């Protein structure tokens, strides 16, 4: 079972990498950029075949390792 | 207009960060993990209001800066 975890910074958390991307794009001549925020994804292949169980397991993984829930949100998409 | 760019490593490209995540999850006692691959996202807020133009601009950004197309794939989702 394939699961995609998307981890993004919470609103209000400073994002220097996003700012760097925004600055670099402006430097390349791209105009009309109102903001850029970076995040990360983790694609997991699990032996689990039940979508609900897979989602619960991955939520546990996020809480324990993948996301820093003080400053990050995570979203779990079961891709089947 | 909000656009999400998802950048993933191409199949076959070694992913040490993904391997580290996999190993760390195993170390925490999670079983049944067949693989983990990491990737990144860039959320852009653009002044552009035409979805097709926004997509074309972001594809240009990916080719020039955001993705290393030798080893990475990118996917553009216009979120509206």
Identify all chain B residues contacting A46, using CB atoms and an 8 Å cutoff.
32-34
Q: Which domains does chain A have, with CATH numbers?
A: 2-78 (3.30.1280.10)
Mean pLDDT computed over B25-32? 97
- Per-residue pLDDT 10s for chain A (80 aa) are 999 999 999 999 999 999 999 999 999 999 999 999 999 999 999 999 999 999 999 999 999 999 999 999 999 999 98
Strands (E) in chain B, as ranges, are: 2-9, 33-46, 72-78
A1 and A75 Cβ atoms separated by less than 8 Å? no
Sheet containing B2-9: which strands, arranged edge to edge? A72-78, A2-9, A33-46, B33-46, B2-9, B72-78
B36 to chain A, minimum CA–CA distance in Å? 5
Identify all chain A residues contacting B54, using CB atoms and an 8 Å cutoff.
none
A70 to chain B, minimum CA–CA distance in Å? 19
Q: Is the ipTM of this complex over 0.90?
A: yes
Nearest CA in chain B to A41: B39
Query: What is the distance between the alpha carbons of residues A40 and A65, in angstroms, rounded to a whole number?
Result: 14
Under an 8 A CB cutoff, do A24 and B65 touch?
yes
Identify all chain B residues contacting A8, using CB atoms and an 8 Å cutoff.
41, 43
Query: What is the distance between the alpha carbons of residues A37 and A6, in angstroms, rounded to a whole number?
Result: 13
- pLDDT exceeds cutoff 90 at B42: yes
Nearest CA in chain A to B43: A37
């Amino acid at each position: 079972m394939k699961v995609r975890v998307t981890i993004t910074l919470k609103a209000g958390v400073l994002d220097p990498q996003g700012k760097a991307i925004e600055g670099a794009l402006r430097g390349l001549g791209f105009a009309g950029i109102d903001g850029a925020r970076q995040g990360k994804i983790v694609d997991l292949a699990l032996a689990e075949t039940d979508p609900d169980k897979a989602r619960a397991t991955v939520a546990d993984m996020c809480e324990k390792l993948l996301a820093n829930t003080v400053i990050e949100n995570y979203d779990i998409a079961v891709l089947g």
